[in-house]
């Protein structure tokens, strides 16, 4: 087809179109929905019995803060990735990776300065493992689907990244609720059954993004 003919066709297809809602509005809506979903998930999973004591422990609080940061930064990046030019703030797309690296680094840092009590590192005998990864995945499923649906409303030129952000935010919600519910602070357990699966989910999200976020 001739380019002139194509332009004539495009003009005929009514150019008037309502622009996508602003990123702040989208972010506010998403935060509300995810907060409601997270609270519901927390209601079903319950809270660990020593939650108050744990929150007064610096390492635990810092981990929770980093998880919350991971959720917010991934949400922001997923929203930015809906716009082809990332609203000319491409640096936002790098923040989730930085936060996740910080989180992983924080776990390894605690490992490096391991206290004499090996219980802080090694998992409790007979404790579960795979269930945690599956639980994070199960909790993340609905938010991930919601985020993928939202990103599809835009026009992402970085579908792999966008997919990974969507899943990272969703897995962040799963990880946070589980961390507040499960009374297991073993660093080995957290690394192997919480954060490595989160990374794997993000990679799966990137692959899914390549196929699901085509436009």
Partner 1 sequence: MAVVCLKMTRKCSLTQVFSGTVQMVTPTENPMDKYAERAALFRAGLAGDGVAYGQFLQKTTLILRRMLGKKLPPLDIEDVVQDILISLHKARHTHDGQRPLMPWVFAIARFRLNDYLRKAYSRAGHEVYVANIEENAAADVTETYREDESIGELLQDLPERQKRILRLLYLEGHTAKEAGRLLDMGESAIKVAAHRAIKKIRERLGG
Interface with partner 1 (CB under 8 A):
1, 3, 6-8, 10-20, 22, 82-88, 154-155, 157, 215
Look at the alpha carbons of 78, 79, 82, 84 in this order and tell me if their dihedral is positive or negative.
negative
Half-sphere exposure of 187 (CA within 13 A, CB side): 19
Q: How far is the CB of 96 from partner 1 (least distance, A)?
A: 20
Nearer to partner 1, 10 or 28 (CB): 10
Q: How far is the CB of 34 from partner 1 (least distance, A)?
A: 23
Nearer to partner 1, 14 or 58 (CB): 14
Cα separation, 134 vs 93, whole angstroms: 27
Q: How far is the CB of 7 from partner 1 (least distance, A)?
A: 5
What are the start-end ranges of the E strands in 117-197? none
Nearer to partner 1, 187 or 213 (CB): 213
Residues 6 or more apart whose Cβ sits within 8 Å of residue 96? 70, 73, 74, 77, 164, 165, 168, 169
Q: How far is the CB of 87 from partner 1 (least distance, A)?
A: 7
Please list, residue by residue across 95-131, b when 16 or more beta carbons sit within 10 angstroms of its beta carbon and e when fewer do.
bbbebbeebbebbeebeeeeeeeeeebebeeeeeeee
Nearer to partner 1, 18 or 125 (CB): 18
Nearer to partner 1, 12 or 125 (CB): 12
Longest dimension (CA), the chain: 76
Q: How far is the CB of 10 from partner 1 (least distance, A)?
A: 5
């Amino acid at each position: 087809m001739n380019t002139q003919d194509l332009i004539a066709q495009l003009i005929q297809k009514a150019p008037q179109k309502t622009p996508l809602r602003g990123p702040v509005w989208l972010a506010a809506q998403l935060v509300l929905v995810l907060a409601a979903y997270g609270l519901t998930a927390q209601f079903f999973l319950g809270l660990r019995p020593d939650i108050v004591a744990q929150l007064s422990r610096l390492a635990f609080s810092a981990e929770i803060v980093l998880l919350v940061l991971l959720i917010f930064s991934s949400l922001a990046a997923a929203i930015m990735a809906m716009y082809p030019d990332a609203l000319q703030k491409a640096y936002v797309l790098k923040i989730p990776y930085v936060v996740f690296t910080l989180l992983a680094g924080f776990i390894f840092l605690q490992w490096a300065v391991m206290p004499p009590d090996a219980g802080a590192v090694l998992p409790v005998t007979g404790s579960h493992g795979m269930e945690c990864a599956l639980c994070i995945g199960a909790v993340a499923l609905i938010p991930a689907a919601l985020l993928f649906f939202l990103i599809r409303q835009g026009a992402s030129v970085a579908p792999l990244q966008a997919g990974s952000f969507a899943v990272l935010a969703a897995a962040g919600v799963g990880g946070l609720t589980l961390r507040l519910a499960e009374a297991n602070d073993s660093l080995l357990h957290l690394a192997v059954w919480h954060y490595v699966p989160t990374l794997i989910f993000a990679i799966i999200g990137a692959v899914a993004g390549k196929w699901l976020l085509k436009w």
